[in-house]
Amino acid sequence: TQLLEQSPQFLSIQEGENLTVYCNSSSVFSSLQWYRQEPGEGPVLLVTVVTGGEVKKLKRLTFQFGDARKDSSLHITAAQPGDTGLYLCAGALKGKLIFGQGTTLQVKP
């Protein structure tokens, strides 16, 4: 059983479309992080959300932390081929950073 469930697992869209990726848990996290991983590379941190209800923006990416701090979402506006990659949410639990299973995003030109 995954502590952090991401959906969808795969997403293939056309350039210019919007999308949302979800990260859900039955556990409460004090913070959640989002990482992006490109082929042949390690994950790179995009953002950390800390406060329930918090919204953070990174250019065309909008991250939200649920009010109950059990879930988070990543919304991408007007996706571009450069957004292609594996998106991972992660939360700290018992001194370990636990990752969701990831969402593979492909943005076609």
Partner 1 sequence: DTAVSQTPKYLVTQMGNDKSIKCEQNLGHDTMYWYKQDSKKFLKIMFSYNNKELIINETVPNRFSPKSPDKAHLNLHINSLELGDSAVYFCASSQFQVVPRQVNSPLHFGNGTRLTVT
Where along the sequence are the contacts to partner 1 (CB under 8 A)? 29-31, 33, 35, 37, 40-45, 48, 50, 86, 88, 90, 92-93, 95-99, 101-102, 104
- Residue 18 or 43: the one with the smaller Cβ distance to partner 1 is 43
Q: How far is it, in rounded angstroms, from Cα 29 to Cα 39?
A: 28
Q: How far is the CB of 78 from partner 1 (least distance, A)?
A: 25
Which backbone phi and psi does 17 adopt, to 5 degrees?
Answer: -80, 160
Q: How far is the CB of 82 from partner 1 (least distance, A)?
A: 19
- Residue 20 or 37: the one with the smaller Cβ distance to partner 1 is 37
- Residue 13 or 86: the one with the smaller Cβ distance to partner 1 is 86
User: Residue 67: helix, strand or coil by DSSP?
Assistant: coil
64, with CB counted inside 10 A (0-12, 13-18, 19+), is middle
Please check whether residue 72 is in contact with residue 7, taking contact to mean a CB–CB distance below 8 angstroms: no
